[in-house]
Chains A and B, each alone.
Chain A
């Protein structure tokens, strides 16, 4: 059974293209356009990996991270950002339970390899 990945990003193109690419790599992708639907989808579908943008219209990636960690320790949480993150931001994200950071644009081959490694580490 293919691993499930939830992508939360308000940028439709980015979200869709990423889903298509990961689909090619053999992942089963879910999409959400904002934090609220994203969290609801994660709780309902229980994906293995959640990839989220740090900045969302109704919330931030950090809050989603916090929310989902409370709900389950099993999620692999990956944060995406378009800009450099300061050391504080990185520390904050990691303390809230983020597993990986991605700086846009990212090497997709590398991304799929990283996801598989994380999945292997979690024993999925």
Chain B
């Protein structure tokens, strides 16, 4: 498992979103419409209610006024009122005033316009007035009855004057009139009772000229210039309708109010009710708030429900996912519990389990196949490696052989071509020498140079011998030899100079070896010659034989010369490598060649300033014939 793929969203949230959209959006739309509708309806209802209130109050006002008029009417139409004497009338009127506190003044006027009775609640005037030309009296006499003449009684209390005819019951002719002033402050009290301040409602009664008759706020009514705001009056007075309601914004305060009005029948007055919108619509606002609260609760509930449902739906999917991850990691043994509901997800889980089972089987097969393949691969690799090694060594061998063959061919040609001129020189110098020696007094310098030439010819010939000897490939001609006798013969015949002491030490086992005596002798001689050459003044040359590594005999040729550095020792067996002023660099190459041809090897150890030891290893011959008598 490497990096997890980028998540493209979670199923859980998708479900949640879908649930929310599906459930909340229609709910929201319906709720919105319902709330709006309810509010409009409610507001209308409130408006109508207010209008009805105004109408009801107009009736009350009308009844109130008419009631008082009727009191007067009843009194004036008493059968004997017309015929009563003045004191009697005065008694009746006084009685009425006692009964009805609203009456401020009551006057009885005869047909001629002379006041006969005059009673006042606060003012006790006894002087009778001549009312013949009084406008109100005349109106009453003409129309039979009258309500009007609104005024501010005593400058502050709104009052109305009403009058009724006194009718002679016999003739049914008017014989006078009763005029009464009545206080309207009771109306204000009535309004105040109906619309207390706490309701934030103002109610008023005005007449058609805008005179403020009553107000729910009694302070308003007692003001000398008491009247409703102009904008309200304008609407009320210009309106022809008997009732009405609506919203308006007050110019004076900017307050938004719900207003209603109703005409008081018979009187031409108007009842006006005004409520602040905020108060009026409080109910609908409350409803709105409640609705929103409900919506919030529903939303939260739906969210929780969606969350729960999503959990229920996504939990098995999550479990499946975990199982798939486990499977992906190759963990077949532990898979999460996939006991799934009996639905599509359950089916998926079931399919998944089947898949994982089959995957398990297949994986085991693949793993075993892989192991087998790896094993085969390894063995193949090993074989290829071994084969490569063989090939490489064979190739190296071939290259070496080819190189040696080439060297051999070249050396043979060169050797032959040089030997001819050498032979000629040799012949000629022999001739000269013979001739010179034959003279009675041969020149000594000539003789010296002749001998130099002879020596150089021998040296040149020796070099050619070496080259040809190294290059020559001839069949090995092995013979069984005992190492001690062989080495003894070899060293005995070697001309060791006087300044070198040769110390011999041979293996007591005297092992038998199968060697080509000529070739081996050449090799050992080369080593001895080398050793002597590196000790030009004096030194010791050790020639030893020892049994080594069980099945080998080691021939050591050790000198006490100057030794050589490691770099030189590494190259010393390479053909044509030499450190001498004169030398072919083939002496040690021949040693190595001989060692190789005898299935042995040659090694060198050297310490600069102390000496060098060459070690020639040759295999010991197993089951050799018995050693010849003598040395062992």
Contact = CB atoms under 8 A, between A and B. Distances in A.
Contacts of B417: 82
A83 B419 contact: yes
A87 interface: yes
A84 B408 CA distance: 11
Given A21-B434, A83-B412, A86-B474, A108 B420 contact: no
Contacts, number: 61
B319 interface: no
A74 interface: no
A52 B424 CA distance: 15
Interface in A41-95: 80-84, 86-87
A20 B431 contact: yes
Given A20-B427, A82-B416, A83-B416, A105 B472 contact: no
Contact of A17 (B412, B428, B435, B461): B428
A13 interface: yes
Contacts of A108: 426-427, 430
Interface residues of A, number: 21
B466 to A, nearest CB: 12
Contacts of B426: 105-106, 108
Given A20-B431, A24-B431, A108-B426, A14 B420 contact: yes
A104 B428 contact: no
Is chain B's interface secondary structure helix, strand, loop, or mixed overall?
helix
A72 B461 CA distance: 35
B552 interface: no
B457 interface: yes
A84 B423 CA distance: 15
Contacts of B427: 14, 17-18, 20-21, 105, 108
B415 interface: yes
B150 interface: no
A86 B472 CA distance: 9
Contact of A84 (B420, B461, B468): B468
A105 B415 contact: no
Given A82-B415, A82-B417, A86-B474, A14 B434 contact: no
B474 A17 contact: no
Interface string B490-531: 000000000000000000000000000000000000000000
Contacts of A84: 412, 468, 472
Contacts of B428: 17
Nearest to B472: A84
Contacts of B416: 81-83
Interface in B422-458: 422-428, 430-431, 434-435, 457
Interface of B: 412, 415-428, 430-431, 434-435, 457, 461, 468, 472, 474
Given A24-B431, A24-B434, A84-B472, 14 more contacts: A13-B421, A14-B423, A17-B424, A20-B431, A83-B412, A83-B416, A83-B419, A83-B468, A84-B412, A87-B474, A105-B423, A105-B425, A105-B457, A109-B430
Lowest 7 A-B CB distances belong to which pairs?
A17-B427, A82-B416, A105-B423, A82-B419, A104-B423, A105-B426, A104-B419
